[in-house]
Amino acid sequence: QKEVEQNSGPLSVPEGAIASLNCTYSDRGSQSFFWYRQYSGKSPELIMFIYSNGDKEDGRFTAQLNKASQYVSLLIRDSQPSDSATYLCAVTAGNQFYFGTGTSLTVIP
């Protein structure tokens, strides 16, 4: 069984702060890593993907991957109330995606 673990939260940060979301995975053969945002009652939408060790930045979002530690994280800079959502980590092995249970983030105005 391929495990993807996330702290379920809730994580609360003040507006303008950095939110840090973490994810660990069990399968060393995992190839690609994705972060999705899901608003209540909506379907997941892609924020970022990363497949090489190191950092990848896209606007206010930075994904970090450490394959040796089997760890992937998402940093959200200058957090906004509109960032309040559940964030899902997903890893792939072949055609299949394996999802964590998500971390609930609340950004307090």
Partner 1 sequence: DVKVTQSSRYLVKRTGEKVFLECVQDMDHENMFWYRQDPGLGLRLIYFSYDVKMKEKGDIPEGYSVSREKKERFSLILESASTNQTSMYLCASRPPGNTDTQYFGPGTRLTVL
Residues within the interface to partner 1 (CB under 8 A): 8, 31-32, 34, 41-46, 49, 51, 88, 90, 92, 95-97, 99-102
Minimum distance from residue 14 beta carbon to partner 1 (Å): 26
Minimum distance from residue 51 beta carbon to partner 1 (Å): 6
Q: How far apart are CA 64 and CA 72, in angstroms?
A: 5
How does strand 11-14 pair with strand 103-108?
Answer: parallel
Which CB atom, from 20 or from 32, has the smaller least distance to partner 1? 32
| CA quadruple 48, 52, 58, 64: dihedral sign | positive
Which CB atom, from 17 or from 67, has the smaller least distance to partner 1? 67
Which CB atom, from 17 or from 27, has the smaller least distance to partner 1? 27
Minimum distance from residue 109 beta carbon to partner 1 (Å): 26
